Structure 1
Amino acid sequence: MFDLQLMFHSYKKYIFYLLALYVLGWGLTDYQQIFLGLIIGTSISFYNLWMLVRKSTQFGEALANGRKVTLGTATRMASAIVGVFFALKFPEYIDLISVVLGLMTMYVVIMIDFLLKHLR
């Protein structure tokens, strides 16, 4: 099994590069709505992954010590709802579909990273 912190570090690197590209796209193109939605959705997706890694580590420690802990599913869902709320509240600035695509970005990054590591 891969080390969770090592995997998170590589995902973090990929997401920061992707966010840098989104910021460049937001600043240099006429598609500010779309890129701002991607920035918001990807940032929330990264936050959700960070929260999941943190809670998984706490979960492992809690199992070793016999305590109970949750994985924070409600918190991750609430953060996604906040991103969609902002897209609905400010549709002239943020594209809703881009926010939803940004929320799925982390899963695409995980799949691509898995394929690259599997092919090596």
Structure 2
Amino acid sequence: MSDFENMIIRQRKWMLYLLAVLVLGTVFTSHPRIFNSLLLGASVSFYNLWLLQHKTNAFGKTVAETGKARGGLGTFSRLAASILAVLIALRFEETFHIIAVVIGIVSSYFIMALDGIVQFIKHNKSKNPQ
């Protein structure tokens, strides 16, 4: 399995863990509005992460086969999904908190950054054992 495929699996796994924690927070805490919002944003973020990984893989295969870059990485689709989540939060203000939705939307970027940092540390530790 390639490094890219391993990275995809790790990031999706951590996003699913985050979604599970948010579901538990919605059910068992006294702040369901915040956790509903984080769950909405993180769900859109998970979709955006999946779409970005899928498009990146397809883009890489196209470039490797043809040597030319065709198509994009789905920026418009990811932006539209994020705008839809914000519009839902604005429409149902009694159920969702807009700031928490936005934090949820960027959660996949936190996961990607955290994964990169952890892998960098692991790589450096295996390279320079002390």
- How does the TM-score come out when normalised to structure 2? 0.85
Identity %: 36
Q: Is the 8 A contact 1:62 1:69 kept in 2?
A: no
CA RMSD, 1 decimal = 1.4
**How many Å separate the matches in 1 of 2:13 and 2:45?**
14
Could you tell me which amino acid in structure 1 is paired with residue 31 of structure 2? Y
The residue aligned with 2:127 is none
List structure 1 segments (4+ residues) > 6 angstroms apart after TM superposition.
none
| TM-score for the superposition, normalised by structure 1 | 0.92
* Letter matched to residue 87 of structure 2: F
- For 1:61 and 1:116, the matched residues in 2 are separated by 27
In the TM superposition, 1:39-118 aligns within 5 A as 39-63=39-63, 64-65=65-66, 66=68, 68-118=70-120
Distance 1:68 1:111 in 2: 27
- How far the C-alpha of 1:101 sits from its partner, in A, is 0.2
Extract unaligned runs of 5+ from structure 1: none
Higher Rg of the two aligned structures? 2
In the other structure, the counterpart of 2:34 is: 34
For this pair of structures, how many residues does the alignment match?
Answer: 119
Superposed CA deviations along residues 58-117 of structure 1, whole A, max 9, x for unmatched, are 112222234722211100000000000000000000111111000111111111112212
Native 8 Å contact 1:4 1:53 kept in 2: no
Residue 5 (structure 1) shift: 2.0
CA contact (8 A) 1:25 1:35 kept: yes
